[in-house]
Amino acid sequence: MTAGSLWSCVFLLLFSSIRSLWAAEISCKSEDGDPVDWFLLYKLPKYIRKESPRTGLEYMYMDSLTQAWQLSKFLINMTQSALGQTLNQLYEAYISKNDSTAYVIYNDDVPHSKHYSWKQGHTKGFLFLDKSQGFWGIHSIPLFPPFPEEGYGYPPTGKQNAQMAICITFRYNQFAEIDKQLLCYNPNIYSCSIPDIFHPDLPNVQKLCVGSALPLIPWHHLSKLQSAQGENFLH
Ligand SMILES: *[C@@H]1O[C@H](CO)[C@@H](O)[C@H](O)[C@H]1NC(C)=O
Ligand SMILES: *[C@@H]1O[C@H](CO)[C@@H](O)[C@H](O)[C@H]1NC(C)=O
């Protein structure tokens, strides 16, 4: 074996171990179940002018790997959809009661709830992370996602209108900034778990989760966030 091929072997080994490490980490997931830095989806409305009605579950999808819109081969209510694959990590950790992960799900329109929350932020999303990495999803879908004990699903009320969702993968060090940003949102959290090991870095989210008194909320707050792969996002 020449020195060159030995080096390429070492490199390949290193590369594949980095790859599998990355694969095991919490992240937004593509429809193939691969980790992606970010994805965007746009669920099509049920009725599009001059066309016969669709199911209301088809969606356009784009991620950091494809960087182009394409019609998904899945429907948004399927666990194979990008939202299904991504949220499944949260649902599985919930079932295994994993204390090394934290999650928050919020929506001003809570599943199974008849009254709309006027007092809290008009905002919908979910966070799931461990001390290495995680994701933040932001979307427009009322009554979504289901409580973790119910597993993945899509509400029938979300079929009629168009909806959007964005998911971004972040290294752990970005979540302190996300924590500050969520305080400004005053989100209506309906399911969460923030184990002790996260309290020093996520003080606001922890208070929001248990419903304890909050610090003074700033009127404006612009966050500069960087995704796991180094893309900048302003929020
Ligand atoms: C998704 O919705 C379609 C159309 O309503 C339905 O036929 C299918 O059973 C649903 N799939 C799941 C996994 O809920
Ligand atoms: C708990 O989460 C950690 C970090 O994501 C992971 O390494 C570990 O395998 C999980 N344990 C269980 C029982 O799922």
Tell which wins on pLDDT, 196 or 116: 196
For residue 99, the CA-to-ligand 2 centroid distance in Å is 8
pTM more than 0.95: no
Pairing of strands 189-193, 163-171: unpaired
* Distance from C-alpha of 119 to C-alpha of 117, rounded to nearest angstrom: 6
Query: Considering only CA atoms, which of 64, 86, 65 is closest in space to residue 74?
Result: 86
Residue identifier of the C-alpha nearest atom 10 of ligand 2:
98
Tell which wins on pLDDT, 115 or 68: 68
User: Mean per-residue pLDDT for 106-125?
Assistant: 81
User: Mean per-residue pLDDT for 121-132?
Assistant: 93
Q: If you average pLDDT over each of 51-55, 106-110, 166-170, 221-225, which comes out highest?
A: 166-170
Tell which wins on pLDDT, 212 or 154: 154
Query: What percent of the chain stands above pLDDT 70?
Result: 87
Run of H or E residues at 133: strand 133-139
Q: Is the CB of 96 under 6 A from ligand 2?
A: yes
Nearest atom of ligand 1 to the alpha carbon of 79: 13
**Which residues contact residue 127 at a Cβ distance below 8 angstroms, ignoring those fewer than 6 apart?**
102, 103, 104, 134, 135, 136, 137, 175, 178, 205
> How confident is the model at residue 59, as a pLDDT?
96
> How confident is the model at residue 20, as a pLDDT?
47
Rounded to whole angstroms, what are the CA distances from 45 to 42, 75, 154, 163, 231? 9, 13, 14, 8, 30
Query: Considering only CA atoms, which of 163, 19, 165, 169 is closest in space to residue 89?
Result: 169
How many Cβ atoms sit within 10 Å of the Cβ of residue 66? Answer: 13
**Which residues contact residue 138 at a Cβ distance below 8 angstroms, ignoring those fewer than 6 apart?**
123, 124, 125, 165, 166
Contact 96, 103 (CB under 8 A): no
- Helix 175-185 × helix 203-210 angle, to 10°: 40
> Rg (Cα) of the chain, in Å, rounded?
19
Q: Is the CB of 77 under 6 A from ligand 1?
A: yes
For residue 29, the CA-to-ligand 2 centroid distance in Å is 17
Nearest atom of ligand 1 to the alpha carbon of 75: 1
Ligand 1 pocket test, candidate residues 77, 81, 88, most atoms within 8 A of CB? 77
